[in-house]
Amino acid sequence: MRIIILFLAVIIFSCKQNKEVKEAYQWPEATPPVAEMKDHETGMHGDKRNDEYYWMADYFSKGPDSSKVVDYLNAENAYTDTMMAGTKQFQRDLFAEMKGRIKEKDESVPVFSNGYWYYTRSEEGKQYFKYCRKKGTLEATEEILLDVDQMAEGHPYYSASGFSVSPDNKLLAFGVDTVSRREYTIHIKHLETGEILKDAIFPTDPGYEWGNDNKTLFYTATNPKTLLSEKIKRHTLGADPKTDVTVYVEKDNSNYIGVGKTKSDKFIVISSTATMSSEHRILDANKPEGEFQVFQPRIKNVLYDIDHQNDKFLIVTNQDALNFKLMETPIGKTGVANWKEVIPTRKDVLLQGIDVFKDYLVITERKNGLLQLRIRNITNQAEHYVDFGEAAYTAYPSGNPEYDTKNLRYSYTSLTTPNSVYDYDMESKKKELKKRQEVLGGYDPEEYVTERLYATARDGVKVPISLVYKKGTAKSAETPMLLYAYGSYGYSMDASFSSSRLSLLDRGFIFAIAHIRGGQELGRQWYEDGKMFKKKNTFFDFIDCAEFLIKEKYTSTAHLFAEGGSAGGLLMGAVSNLRPDLWRGIVADVPFVDVVTTMLDESIPLTTNEWDEWGNPKNKDSYEYMKSYSPYDNVEKKAYPNMLVTTGLHDSQVQYFEPAKWVARLRTHKTDKNVLLLKTNMEAGHGGASGRFDYLKEIALRCAFMFALEGIRE
């Protein structure tokens, strides 16, 4: 999925309000790089389609132009540095300001699992964290399971993920990626001796599950070129990974696969999921060398997910249920013919998922764009909803590994409420705030205002917009605004808090999220109406939201900025072609802009997984529709807004050459004198820098770009 943890970072700029007369930033007189053009025909179905920058893909393929690619990216970086030179001190100040709001010495709320309290803690000045536990009680002696600060030394990028502790609490499996290509090496640590065992396995996805025998580990093996999750393998502790047994091979390369465990720890589950269908296999976790059994064979256009509860399985499915429904079936009778309805589908409520406990069931629902948690006592069938006390918020279960408990852990946030963790007693209905994100330097939520607006799209649909601004901020044609959106994969852009965003608001900006189609904020149909041959609704919704905000005098075209990342970067590319006149500036982060070429190349990571999202251009109708909106294909000889485009050399989700080619083509076509900048992180991938603080430097650059255009200099 071309969706990233980055998009949460890209919206949290920080800056101070400047009430003095604003002097425009003076852009240096510098000449941008000019990329070489080489004709390369990529058309299909009788269509001529010349891609003059196709050679830029040579870095990963080690082609003849590999070194030339690096030279070009470095030249673009040098040009960006020159153009932004006058903001260098401002960027340093912004970085310090954003970092200054983060509590450097901090600790997560401990989570209880199988007799231990697990948590992470960070130390002052350190980029990473320590993964720790205490046995039985929080007063027990701390065990540091992994010191990631120490492990990351000497690595420009470092990610440790996929932590899985064996049932006897003696072994820890974890994955490490030092390149940012989502290729992880499994390591196993003996927690009693501290020894890292020799069982190193590469390449894998970071999701590992132990059999209940404490010596069998299941993992997902990936293709080193396409990075597709292709096989589930079984590793026996101490054995040569070359002898690992393949227990499942995915033959449909449009499916993602993975391995997990039911909440009860009774079953190992292999999942195979595409955009429109899924299939699961189960195995008794006490018999890890047994054969996996298909739960229900995949059915075209039917998604289902499963978990185990006592004497039955629970199934969330969209079979004859657009907004999903909840079913159950006895153990041993898993086929669809045995499924019995528990909660029917509803037109106005999306059943988003379930969290299973021995005596309770937590159902996550979405109604009117808001998440709600429905609690059911399975003994007496009594139900209630958790009362959150605010009209607009985001809430979701988090950190609930224990099966036999009446305590629900959930996270809560809003545009003005810092991230908060609660424990909720499902029997007494009492909740306890365990931790609220501390904002250093002081923060008063009463100083900020949130609004929920609805723009009417061109086809009459009402599109929600969430806004936040500081009290006293004028709504006028002179007010700067950042409008953000994503709009793909059914991912809902729920309103959440950001401490870094505060200084953006303090400088007089309004921040807005357009909840456009392609997400799932208003139910499954909201997603269906923003994908495949309805994808243009996503772009039109964003434009219509912008025009609505201008009409209502929240801002004007002279002060309106747009931003999106990954598939949201596709949105930025599309709206820059469709309505370049609407924006003072556009920030496109790791943008997916060459849709046709990417979806034609099955060797590129994620391509085949996403045909159900975008279409397969080998089909003429899909090819023509994609080409009609693909940003790279629709660059024209006309004026474009000021633009900052970012990418990462090692990006595996939207590879660097998409934004690089797009910028190169824009340079030869744009008829304006507006600024066009490309910044490539030469040491990172899709999510940017890996440390707790380094990513803030990337945000500071984006911030400085926008404020240079607004004439804000400090």
d(CA 197, CA 185): 13
Percent of the chain with pLDDT over 70: 95
Residue 19: per-residue pLDDT: 39
* pTM for the whole structure: 0.88
pLDDT higher than threshold 90 for residue 609: no
Residue 687: per-residue pLDDT: 54
Residue 590: per-residue pLDDT: 94
Weakest mean pLDDT among 50-54, 249-253, 479-483: 249-253
Annotated active-site residue 566? The verdict is yes
Superfamily of domain 5-28+449-710: Alpha/Beta hydrolase fold, catalytic domain (3.40.50.1820)
Residue 602: per-residue pLDDT: 83
Please tell me which residue in 566, 622, 652, 690 is annotated as part of the active site: 566
Confidence band of 369 (pLDDT split at 50, 70, 90)? confident
Helix (H, G, I), strand (E, B) or coil at 605: coil
pLDDT higher than threshold 50 for residue 7: no
Q: What is the mean pLDDT of residues 232-257?
A: 94
pLDDT higher than threshold 50 for residue 1: no
Q: Name the pairing type of β-strands 209-210 and 481-484.
A: unpaired
| CA 595 remoteness from chain centre | 19
Residues 6+ apart with CB under 8 A from 530: 487, 488, 516, 517, 518, 519, 537, 538, 541
Residue 124: per-residue pLDDT: 87
Q: Is 586 left (phi over 0), alpha (psi -120 to 50) or beta?
A: beta
pLDDT higher than threshold 90 for residue 674: yes
- Taking the CA atoms of 533, 539, 545 and 551 in sequence, report the sign of the dihedral they define: negative
Q: What is the mean pLDDT of residues 85-112?
A: 92
Weakest mean pLDDT among 55-69, 354-368, 445-459: 55-69
pLDDT higher than threshold 60 for residue 14: no
d(CA 53, CA 59): 13
Residue 685: per-residue pLDDT: 57
Residues 6+ apart with CB under 8 A from 117: 110, 111, 133, 134, 135, 136, 137, 138, 140
Residue 59: per-residue pLDDT: 83
Percent of the chain with pLDDT over 90: 80
Residue 15: per-residue pLDDT: 41
Confidence band of 6 (pLDDT split at 50, 70, 90)? very low
Confidence band of 308 (pLDDT split at 50, 70, 90)? very high
Q: How far is CA 101 from CA 441, 510, 606, in A?
A: 6, 20, 36
pLDDT digits (tens, 9 = 90+) for 509-530: 999 999 999 999 999 999 999 9
Place of tokens 């997603």: 527
Residues 6+ apart with CB under 8 A from 673: none
pLDDT higher than threshold 50 for residue 10: no
Place of tokens 């289902």: 304
Annotated active-site residue 308? The verdict is no
Residue 684: per-residue pLDDT: 65
Confidence band of 105 (pLDDT split at 50, 70, 90)? confident
Mean pLDDT for the chain?
Answer: 92
| CA 223 remoteness from chain centre | 22
Task: Quote the radius of gyration of the chain (alpha carbons, Å).
Answer: 25
- Locate 464 and state its tokens: 């929600």
pLDDT higher than threshold 70 for residue 191: yes
Are residues 643 and 674 in contact, defined by beta-carbon separation less than 8 angstroms?
yes
pLDDT higher than threshold 70 for residue 117: yes
Are residues 530 and 518 in contact, defined by beta-carbon separation less than 8 angstroms?
yes
pLDDT higher than threshold 70 for residue 690: no
pLDDT digits (tens, 9 = 90+) for 631-656: 999 999 999 999 999 999 987 778 89
d(CA 699, CA 18): 20
Residue 2: per-residue pLDDT: 44
Are residues 226 and 602 in contact, defined by beta-carbon separation less than 8 angstroms?
yes
Residue 21: per-residue pLDDT: 44
pLDDT digits (tens, 9 = 90+) for 453-464: 999 999 999 999
Residue 692: per-residue pLDDT: 63
Q: How many angstroms separate the first and last alpha carbons of the chain?
A: 38
Q: Name the pairing type of β-strands 201-204 and 116-122.
A: unpaired
- Locate 643 and state its tokens: 């633009």
* CA angle in degrees (0–180, nearest 5) for 549-551-557: 70
Nearest 5°: phi and psi at 90?
-60, -45
Weakest mean pLDDT among 286-300, 375-389, 690-704: 690-704
d(CA 710, CA 510): 13
pLDDT higher than threshold 70 for residue 22: no
Confidence band of 686 (pLDDT split at 50, 70, 90)? low
